[in-house]
Structure 1
Amino acid sequence: MAVTAKSFQLWRSRIAPDDTVADLCRKAGIKRSTLGQQLVRGKVAIGTVVSSARAYGLNPAHELGNFDGYRDLPTGIREPTDAELISQVSHIDVLKLIVARSQDEEAAGRDVRFELAPFPHRNSVRAWIDAVDRGELRQGLAARAGIAPQNLSAQLTAGRLTPELAVEAARVAGVSLASGLVVTSLLTSAEGGWPADGRNRALGMLSDAELVLLARDRLDVLGKSLKKLELASSRDQDLWENLG
């Protein structure tokens, strides 16, 4: 959900009363033509608000609370659940931990000592949705957002989620309202209230059996994704051969 140009201009005048639009664009690293087009259309992208807030040393998550659709965001921020934290660990790191434990280099019940790969990872958005889904999240989210379930599914398959859907998903799931914005890369983990060592702690607390089952689930998702790519590539190859 974009914010209205009027509300953006009012907000901009409060955080930088002496700066022009050109000044803001220069400080925020936004093309002046891009912001100009958004203002003319009457809708300013959420990413523009985030970049502008950062440029003036403000927390974007808190500043989004000045706009309709995100009013409850600042008060709805809390630490992510362990399931959310683990969802943002790549399958490679899960497998690395299994190997490390088999060699007695890591122990269950202790923080993971090796450096985890940055997130979001390849399947971050879908993994997060799966982590917070209590059974009817996808259907409930599609209904509340007024979109077709297949459109939501297409976004998840592509590893995307619009800011409004990310926040609404968190509302439906009853988790921190900033979590969806973190896993979609709109906010940094620090801006969204995610602890720096949270993933290491949550992953380390898994038992060996839980870790193996997690790896199984991750590899199952990866396998299905790769199979789809192979089928699509095969269809493309057949098409070219028929055309040739």
Structure 2
Amino acid sequence: MSGKVLIYGGSGAVGSASARLLKEMGYDLHLVGSGEEKLRKIAEELGAGMSVADLRDPASFKRITEEAGKELAGLVYAVGTINLKSLRRLEEADFMEDFRLNALGAVMAVQAAAAALKKHQSASVVLYSSVAVQQGMAMHASLSMCKGAVEGLVRSLAAELAPQIRVNAIAPSLLQDSDLSSAIIKSPEAVEALGKTHALKRLGKAQDIASLTAFLISDQADWMTGQIIGVDGGRSVIQV
């Protein structure tokens, strides 16, 4: 396997774990993140290119793609938010921030990279949804709304960009080692209690998501597109 994969959120738990697996598989990498020090450390470890960017700035996406190169084998958009508030506490700014980073950022990343992806023989895009889209959860109105938009985007782009580019998404449940989960998980007891709400009796790990991400980018998944795949310990389909 060869080619370059552009990974947004490359310094985060899922993005960096995916980058390491893809490097082992023979891909070149270009990593994107907002914190230069952490991003540079991972990029140097993997011999990857890097772009520091604030994805709230629409101009960032064109610049990032230009820095990544003229041909891309894949794109991973591992950027997300967890903004858990009751409906009465959510303000317009909360909804807009979540939508901007989760949904609008995803489509702008793909839009900016589409020409470079089409130059590769079999390119692949991986986006991320959430178990909360399929399973109604209190306090998840903003997250569910923006991740539901990602699922619609995946199916639309899969149809529009076929056959040159495959587009799929992964819908995780809560991960115990992600950067975002620290706002929710405060103790080992919380990890255990939340794990018990899943049929497999544990929370997920970044590596669980990275393994499927690498598979979907690779040619091993070259007959898969338009799919939303749950990696959630059974949470979305099994009642505990």
TM-score by length of 1: 0.27
Q: Which has the higher helix share?
A: 1
Q: Which has the higher strand share?
A: 2
- Bigger Rg over Cα: 1
